[in-house]
Structure 1
Amino acid sequence: MSTILIGVFVGALLLGVPIAFVMGIASLAVLLIDGSFPLVVVPQRMFNGLDSFPLMAVPFFILAADLMTAGRITQALLSFSRALVGHIRGGMGHVNVLVSVFFAGISGSALADAAGPSAIAMRMMNKAGYPMSYSAALSAATATIGPIIPPSIIMVIYGISESRVSIAQMFLAGILPGCLMGLALALANLVISRRNNYGGGQAFAGFRTIAKTALKAIPAILVPLIILGGILGGVFTPTEAAAVAVVYSLLVGFAQRTLTIGILPQILLRSALLSSAVLMIVSTASIFAWLLTVSQLPQDFGAAIAALKFGELGTLLLLALLILVFGLFIDTIPAVIVLTPILAPIAFNAGVDPLHFAMVLILNLTVGMVTPPVGPVLFVISTVGRIRIEVLTRAILPLLAVQLFVLLLIILFPQITLAIPRLFGYGG
């Protein structure tokens, strides 16, 4: 069974079939050839994969991000960031990083960040004299901060797949790694800008301008505080928090007169299309993951890893390498659903903290979004910036090295992940 499943999966993937259909076709092939289960399990398992209250947070977070973007909140964040760090060497690059950190607290999605604020910052960098290749590469790298800083769609998916950690725990655990990733990319931008004489000479905007732009950006900055505060305070669940974010976005947009009734249908349609694509992947990944479990592949793989006796750190490093390789070819959401039931038990048996492993897997797969040949963020930035994918791939390599270094720090120092959750009473 596992040979058919993996064989059809790899074959369809090499043919360029979309990942949702790849998993569906592989699962259907197993059921048809093996004959151990009736075909009725296909719709049953696909429905069971979607029949989850926490999963409702995904379309709500997508809609909230679209409402914030349409309501010109992104422009307010850009203005504030430019006033705050635009005068530093490589200033527009720092603006790019800072906006992605702020927007990560709204969208929870790297693709939303890449198509929205990162794309805008990329154009601004280009107009300021930065090479298009570097502007695009930095925009792609900063977009990956989106799924790390809460809220995060990937964390919601992981929380559904693995019961040992809660979504609230992961939201807290993502704060320091996300900020560390932003800081590392800002330092890399500073070094690259100094070496190539990028972005110098802009005057300091002044504290008055900073205060003025900060005032306009407050509605956007409050979003992650409302979400996390409400969840930790027991006011609402993560799913309810996503719905609150939608209502808040609507209220802010109408209050500032940046949203109108006339553009709502277009926003809702765009959000519905993206949500349906995500949920389609979740449903087919669910039956694929179920068949993997039935075939005993996770158990056999776990026994093989355990037999190597690498210890806690060695096992975690090996799993991180496997995740990184898997992320080269598979998109993030299906990778979470497929890999979690296979790799999580191996990590737990080796003594790895469940929350630490969750963040290693999420951060690892997020980095995979900017690695060829599948890296979806690369394709979004390439399309938006009208830059050839091979040029963008070469330009992002130094920034990718920085991201992998941050990943290594997260692996070697669990406290970066666990400190804030433990401060709020999660874990030992």
Structure 2
Amino acid sequence: MTAILFGAFFVLLVIGVPVAFAMAISAALAVYFGSSYPLIVVVKEMFSGLDSFPLMAVPFFVLAAELMTGGAMTHILLRFASQFVGHLRGGLGYANVLSSTMFAGISGSALADAAGPGAMMVRMMEKGGYDRPYAAALTASSAVIGPIIPPSIIMILYAMQVDRVSVGALFMAGIVPGLMMAAMLCAANWYVCRQRGYRSAEPRPSPGEMMRTTLHAIPALMLIVIIIGGIRAGIFTPTEASVVAVFYALVCGMFVYRSLKLRDLPEIVYRAALVSVAVLLILAAARAFAWVLIIQSVPQTLAATIGGWELSPIVFLLAVNLLLLVFGLFMDPLPGVMVLVPILAPIAHSLGIDPVHFAIVVIVNLTLGLITPPVGSLLFVVSSTVKIRVTDLVREMPPFFIAHLVVLALLTFVPALSTWLPRVSGF
């Protein structure tokens, strides 16, 4: 049954079947040809995978991001970020990273970051004298911060798979790693701009202009404070926070900035629904795929095998990093969380690895799969948005990928980078 599952899955991926359909079809083939279970059990498991209250946060956070983009708040955050660094050498690159970091605190999705503020930053950087492939590569790399800084869809899904961590703890744990990733990308941008002679043509704004831009951006920035502060204070759960985010974005767009019209809402809801359905379809298929693995005792067998090797915690973490980096070449992060985390997390716990530390290492590692060919979703989203070839974009990726790997190594060897903030915050 396991051989049918993996064999069918890889064949379907090779011939270009979308990952959600590949997982669902391979699970159905494994059940039909390798067991006595009725096929209806695959459908049952797919529905069970979506029958979860925390999952309601996914479409609401996606809708909040779409409302922010449609309500011109993306432009406001870009201007706010650009005023501090736009006049420096490589300044628009720094503004790209800074705006993605701020938008990460709103959307929870790398793809939303790349398609929203990222696409606008590429156009701004190109006008400022940067090569378009370089601007696109930096945009894709900075969008990876989206799932790390809270709110984060992938963190919500991880907490659903592992009882030892809460969504609130993971949200707090993602702040420091997300800021580290932003800092390392800025360092990579500084190096490349120095090598290529990219200079800024942006004038330095006056103190008065900076004050006006900052005051104008405060309502948009407050959404981040409301989400994190509300969860930390126990005012609402992460799922309820997603609904609050939608209403806040709606109020800001329609009444504060007055750039969001009623006629815009159907198109915004439609785009959010498409993204949400794609995510939820992957999760449903991954649940059926994981169920086949469970009834074949694959997680238990693998855990017993690895446990018998008597690995040290650090060796295990290095092995997990290597496994997930390879996995990310072929799969998106969400199936990775659904399929691999139930197998790996119990092993990590048995070795005494802090569950929050392990969660952040896994999440950061899996999100890097978004910028690794041949399946990296961000590469294709950015290339199609700014109309460049994926191969041109990939050639510019090495400095930024190295920056992300440095952060991953630090998170692996220094657990306090992930665990300190949740502990001092009461999680």
TM-score range, shorter chain: over 0.9
Deviation per residue, 1:370-406 (Å, 9 max, x gap):
0001000000011011111111111111111111111
Q: Match of 1:16? A: 16
SS in 2 for 1:372: coil
**Per-residue deviation, 1:201:** 5.2
1:285 matched to 2:286? The reply is yes
**Per-residue deviation, 1:59:** 0.1
Question: Using the alignment, how far apart are the partners of 1:304 and 1:13 within structure 2?
Answer: 28
1:133 matched to 2:123? The reply is no
Q: Number of aligned residue pairs: give it.
A: 426
Relative distance call for 1:35 and 1:304 in structure 2 (3 A) is closer
Question: Using the alignment, how far apart are the partners of 1:262 and 1:135 within structure 2?
Answer: 33
**Per-residue deviation, 1:206:** 2.5
Query: Is the Cα–Cα contact under 8 Å of residues 113 and 146 in structure 1 kept in the other structure?
Result: yes
Structure 2 length normalisation: TM-score? 0.98
Q: Match of 1:406? A: 407
Query: Is the Cα–Cα contact under 8 Å of residues 92 and 199 in structure 1 kept in the other structure?
Result: no
SS in 1 for 2:148: coil
**Per-residue deviation, 1:108:** 0.3
Question: Using the alignment, how far apart are the partners of 1:338 and 1:42 within structure 2?
Answer: 15
Query: Is the Cα–Cα contact under 8 Å of residues 31 and 292 in structure 2 kept in the other structure?
Result: no
Deviation per residue, 1:66-110 (Å, 9 max, x gap):
000000001001111111111111000001000001000000000
Q: CA RMSD in A?
A: 1.0
Q: Percent identity?
A: 50
Q: Match of 1:416? A: 417
SS in 2 for 1:129: coil
Query: Is the Cα–Cα contact under 8 Å of residues 106 and 220 in structure 1 kept in the other structure?
Result: no
Question: Using the alignment, how far apart are the partners of 1:286 and 1:201 within structure 2?
Answer: 51
Aligned 1:232-247 pairs, distance under 5 A? 232-247=232-247
Question: Using the alignment, how far apart are the partners of 1:100 and 1:55 within structure 2?
Answer: 24
Which segment is superposed worse, 52-61 or 159-168? 159-168
Amino acid at match of 1:11: V
Amino acid at match of 1:95: A
Q: Match of 1:71? A: 71
Question: Using the alignment, how far apart are the partners of 1:42 and 1:412 within structure 2?
Answer: 40
Q: Match of 1:352? A: 353
Which segment is superposed worse, 141-150 or 225-234? 225-234
Q: Match of 1:86? A: 86
**Per-residue deviation, 1:133:** 1.4
Q: Match of 2:152? A: 152
Query: Is the Cα–Cα contact under 8 Å of residues 57 and 243 in structure 1 kept in the other structure?
Result: yes
Question: Using the alignment, how far apart are the partners of 2:399 and 2:227 within structure 1?
Answer: 34
Question: Using the alignment, how far apart are the partners of 1:411 and 1:254 within structure 2?
Answer: 44
Q: Match of 2:386? A: 385
- Structure 1 runs (4+) deviating above 4 angstroms are none
Amino acid at match of 1:392: L
Q: Match of 1:300? A: 301
Which segment is superposed worse, 225-234 or 68-77? 225-234
**Per-residue deviation, 1:38:** 1.6
Question: Using the alignment, how far apart are the partners of 1:15 and 1:161 within structure 2?
Answer: 30
**Per-residue deviation, 1:277:** 1.0
Q: Match of 1:197? A: 197
Deviation per residue, 1:110-130 (Å, 9 max, x gap):
000010101110110011000
Amino acid at match of 1:107: S
Structure 1 length normalisation: TM-score? 0.98
Query: Is the Cα–Cα contact under 8 Å of residues 82 and 92 in structure 1 kept in the other structure?
Result: yes
Deviation per residue, 1:269-298 (Å, 9 max, x gap):
111111111111111111111111111111
Q: Match of 2:259? A: 258
Aligned 1:336-375 pairs, distance under 5 A? 336-375=337-376
Q: Match of 1:225? A: 225
Question: Using the alignment, how far apart are the partners of 1:338 and 1:394 within structure 2?
Answer: 31
Question: Using the alignment, how far apart are the partners of 2:112 and 2:296 within structure 1?
Answer: 36
Query: Is the Cα–Cα contact under 8 Å of residues 165 and 355 in structure 1 kept in the other structure?
Result: yes
Which segment is superposed worse, 35-44 or 262-271? 35-44
Query: Is the Cα–Cα contact under 8 Å of residues 114 and 377 in structure 1 kept in the other structure?
Result: yes
Q: Match of 1:275? A: 276
**Per-residue deviation, 1:347:** 1.3
Amino acid at match of 1:358: A
Question: Using the alignment, how far apart are the partners of 1:154 and 1:422 within structure 2?
Answer: 21
Which segment is superposed worse, 35-44 or 118-127? 35-44
Aligned 1:29-108 pairs, distance under 5 A? 29-108=29-108
**Per-residue deviation, 1:253:** 0.8
Question: Using the alignment, how far apart are the partners of 1:423 and 1:236 within structure 2?
Answer: 20
